[in-house]
Amino acid sequence: MHIPDGYLSPQTCATFYAASVASVGFAFAKLKKSVDEKTFVHLSVASAFTFIVMMFNFPVVGGSSAHITGIPLITYLFGSFASIIASAVVLIIQALLFRDGGILALGTNVFNMAVAIPLTVVFVDSILKTAGLKNEKVRMFISTYISTNVAALLTAVELGLQPILFTKAGKPLYFIYDLKTTIPAMMVPHLLMVGVIEAVFTVLLYSPLKNFAKIRN
Amino acid sequence: MKKGNDNNFKTILIILFALAILTPLGLLTQNPAFGEWTQEEIKKMLGFVPEGLKKYAEVYKFDLFDDYSFKFISNQYIGYILSALIGIAVIFTIFFLLKHLMTERK
């Protein structure tokens, strides 16, 4: 899900940089209002945890590999604003230090994972709550499953639009496969495996880690 | 209360350290992730590398820890564990600095 440089047109990169800077800036401003000593302990633990979790690649259907992000879990533990900041820091480090995801594509990767996942989790959870779903763990499972697939779909659409929008003499300029390929290639593994694993992970680890997070104001 | 928090934090650090040691499990699969191919892999798949892709693929050149490995350590598992530890250290440093920046301004 970490898009490398060269896969996206400069226009795509610029658009998502703008969206990400605005979203992360907003989250930062919100978080700043309630900041205390514990906030930074939580942010660093959430961030480190997400970073480590993303290193565990596993094979998925269709012959590629994937990893979970841990972002839905830290969203439930620390709230969406802290989760956006913590995961944005992870993506920046992955790009700058380890070249996992591009620098030009960083805005897009931050948007797909650090922004879209926490917001989807909070949004879906509140809809389910309003709809009367009282079981917290079921809500967690569904919200996490959907958020993982939203991130995968965003990535698939951004990549798949490149050869449709940006060509030269009939040849793709950037990413090579269009939506017909990217959507099944991203969505089948995420719908069948990654989303389920991420959801089980969130539900299982929430209770044991809740006590640590509770120290928050 | 304070002491309880410190112990909690220590436990979390131990868990993170243990997970870092286990990260080589993430290298067991040889499958590349979809849409994360190198230029050589694309060339093999298509027979050519798209012009724009070639132009922007290498704009960022820092490759000391490229792909969670170390240039000077040949064992990829050790490189991966060290990358995990470096990542954690950098993350803690960033938030430590951020904390001091933000609390000083107040």
Question: Min CA distance, A201 vs chain B (Å)?
Answer: 15
Whole-number pLDDT of residue B65: 85
Q: Band of the pLDDT at A217, cuts 50, 70, 90?
A: very low
DSSP 3-state of A128: helix
Among A134, A202, A148, A127, smallest CA distance to A1 is for A148
Residues in chain B predicted with pLDDT less than 50, given as ranges, are: 1
What is the rounded distance in angstroms from the CA atom of residue A73 to the CA atom of residue A196?
13
Arithmetic mean of pLDDT, A184-202: 97
Contacts of A66 in chain B (CB under 8 A): 33
Cβ pair A93:B90 closer than 8 A: yes
Cβ neighbours around B83 below 10 Å, total? 23
Give the least confident one: A16-20, A125-129, A153-157, A166-170.
Answer: A166-170
- Structural domains present in chain A: 10-214 (1.10.1760.20)
Q: What is the ipTM of this complex?
A: 0.91
| B25 → chain A, closest CA residue | A56
Whole-number pLDDT of residue A120: 98
Cβ pair B56:A5 closer than 8 A: yes
Whole-number pLDDT of residue A216: 46
Cβ pair A172:B50 closer than 8 A: yes
Q: Which residue has the tokens 């949004």?
A: A123
Whole-number pLDDT of residue B91: 97
Give the closest of A90, A98, A166 to B68, CB-based.
Answer: A98
Whole-number pLDDT of residue A214: 66
Cβ pair A6:B83 closer than 8 A: no
Residue B25 contacts by C-beta under 8 Å, 6 or more apart in sequence? A56
| A58 → chain B, closest CA residue | B29
Arithmetic mean of pLDDT, A7-14: 97
> Measuring CA to CA, how many Å separate A131 from each of A79, A125, A202?
21, 10, 21
Arithmetic mean of pLDDT, A168-176: 93
Residue A132, judged by CB atoms within 10 A of its CB (0-12, 13-18, 19+), counts as exposed
DSSP 3-state of A66: strand
